[in-house]
Amino acid sequence: MYIIIVGGGKVGYYLAKMLLQDEHEVLIVEKDKRKCDIISAELGAVVLRGDGTDSGVMEEAGMARADVVVAVTGDDEDNLMICQMAKRKFDVERRIARINNPKNKRIFELLGIDRTVSVTDLILAQIEREIPAQSLVHLLTLREAGVSFVEAKVPPDSPVIGKRLRDLRIPDDCVIPLIIRNGAGIIPYGETTLAADDEVVAVTALESEDVLERLFGGKTLEA
């Protein structure tokens, strides 16, 4: 695959390195001369120096034949511009953007850039996971498909403890394919009973997240 990475910072550099190891054709577009020099010294002739948001530079980079464009500069407005130009002017099929301000995720989605990675969100999810009795942790959200993968930890005082899965009022558009208990994965079925500290992984329609949150959050006695 031909993959263009715009932004030659740490993320861009290591991404390129790994993709090159997987034998993809990779080009990094980077403005800064010093960064370009370091990348070409380390990785070879895989750098184009220039403003990756500029259509002339995009053309020079061969954007029109790229299979994937990854925008990982430190500026959300630049990443958005890169993905939009890639989509609208160069018809690049797959565009992935790094987002710095998590609130910008919605804007990217509204503009059809649905593959985004927010480091801030990832760290936040990691923190959420460490906090006990916290509501749902989002593992993956596929907004267009209207589905998300979430995880909930059963609090020690939860009313769901000792109950069978089949007896919980789990919404129809939600399934529980995995429970992690003491570090081991269990593929549950209707008879499986829940225990304190179980980490319940659910695949759910976005609309039903609230129900799950109430069910496993230990906040109500709905179960």
Q: By C-beta, is 107 or 178 nearer to another protein?
A: 107
For 135-174, give one letter per residue: b (16+ CB within 10 A) or e. Answer: bbbeeebeeeeebbbbbbbbbeebbbbeeebeebebbeeb
Q: By C-beta, is 42 or 75 nearer to another protein?
A: 75
Name the minimum Å distance from CB 61 to another protein: 14
Q: What amino acid occupies position 213?
A: E
Name the minimum Å distance from CB 82 to another protein: 9
Question: Residue 118, Cα to own-chain centre: how many angstroms?
Answer: 7
Name the minimum Å distance from CB 117 to another protein: 18
Q: By C-beta, is 48 or 83 nearer to another protein?
A: 83
Name the minimum Å distance from CB 147 to another protein: 23
- Provide CB contacts within 8 A for 21, sequence distance 6+: none
| Among 93, 98, 84, CA closest to 64 | 93
Q: By C-beta, is 85 or 152 nearer to another protein?
A: 85
Q: What is the length of the chain?
A: 223
Name the minimum Å distance from CB 208 to another protein: 26
N- to C-terminal Cα separation, the chain: 50
Show the tokens assigned to 55. Answer: 């259509």
Interacting residues toward another protein by CB under 8 A: 53-56, 75-78, 80-81, 84-85, 88-89, 101, 103-104, 106-107, 110-111
Q: By C-beta, is 10 or 89 nearer to another protein?
A: 89
